[in-house]
Amino acid sequence: MQDDAALRQYFQALAEHGRALVGRLPIPPETQPIARTFATLQPAIAAARADCVRALQALPRPAPLARGADDPPIGMNGIGVLADRLTILICKEFYVRTRYRRPAQADAIHREQIADIVACLALARPGHASLLEKVSPIAVAAAFDSFVAAYYDLLGANLLMWETQELLYTRDMDSVPAEELRDYIRFFSQANMLRNRCIAESERLYWAGA
């Protein structure tokens, strides 16, 4: 079996960069209205993008493991979908640790779940970039020139969706103003399309060596 230690180190570094970024963004300890998320968190993610992408590009990225003719099918375990899982777990760890104040559970997410996805990323082989594409007239204006740029925007999209979805799980829907719910539905459809684009581009650009 080929040694995947260098690749594990690379993907672990990606995870740690993501954890550090989420930890310094303006996310309050309590659930916030969607309008406040749009006014504070969304621009903060955009403002941090250039510096974070440069830092991620500076990480030495080992060549992927050699592929064999008898490699089994990978299903949804391609780079793009696994990167999506990784960014969601980064968000989950953060919210469990900070908003719900369950440090032991958050430690377990980091130690077990994130580590498991990192290990899978190191062993990944090419998958289908368009696996999660939806049939929709919604157009997403997003262009990426590198795997890490797509990864950053994937993390940003999942973080914004997590933050906005918090109200669905923590507030009485009958008390939420109708306009706020419409804002959520409008945002979620667009953000989910961006997320799927980032998944596809992460897959494509990683194997293109970009």
Would you place residue 24 in the very low, low, confident or very high pLDDT band (cuts 50, 70, 90)?
very high
Q: Across the chain, what does the average pLDDT equal?
A: 89
**Contacts for 160 with CB less than 8 Å, ≥ 6 apart:** 37, 41, 42, 45, 187, 191
What average pLDDT score do residues 127-154 get? 78
In tens, the pLDDT along 72-128 reads 666 678 899 999 999 999 999 999 999 999 999 999 999 999 999 999 999 998 877
Give the phi and the psi of residue 171 in degrees, each rounded to 5. -120, 155
What pLDDT is stored for residue 137 in this prediction?
64
34 pLDDT exceeds 90? Answer: no
- C-alpha closest to that of 63 among 122, 129, 115, 118: 122
> What single string gives the DSSP state of each residue in the chain?
----HHHHHHHHHHHHHHHHHHHHS---SS---HHHIIIIIHHHHHHHHHHHHHHHHTS--PPPPPP-TTPPP-TT-SHHHHHHHHHHHHHHHHHHHHTS--HHHHHHIIIIIIHHHHHHHHH-----TTTT----S-------SSHHHHHHHHHHHHHHHHHHHHHHHHS-GGGS-HHHHHHHHHHHHHHHHHHHHHHHHHHHHHHHT-
pTM, whole model, 2 decimals?
A: 0.91
C-alpha span between 39 and 68 (Å, rounded): 49
C-alpha span between 198 and 174 (Å, rounded): 34
- The residue count for the chain: 210
In tens, the pLDDT along 41-83 reads 999 999 999 999 999 999 999 988 877 666 766 667 889 999 9
What pLDDT is stored for residue 128 in this prediction?
75
> What single string gives the DSSP state of each residue in 165-197?
HHHHHHS-GGGS-HHHHHHHHHHHHHHHHHHHH
What pLDDT is stored for residue 75 in this prediction?
64
C-alpha span between 105 and 108 (Å, rounded): 5
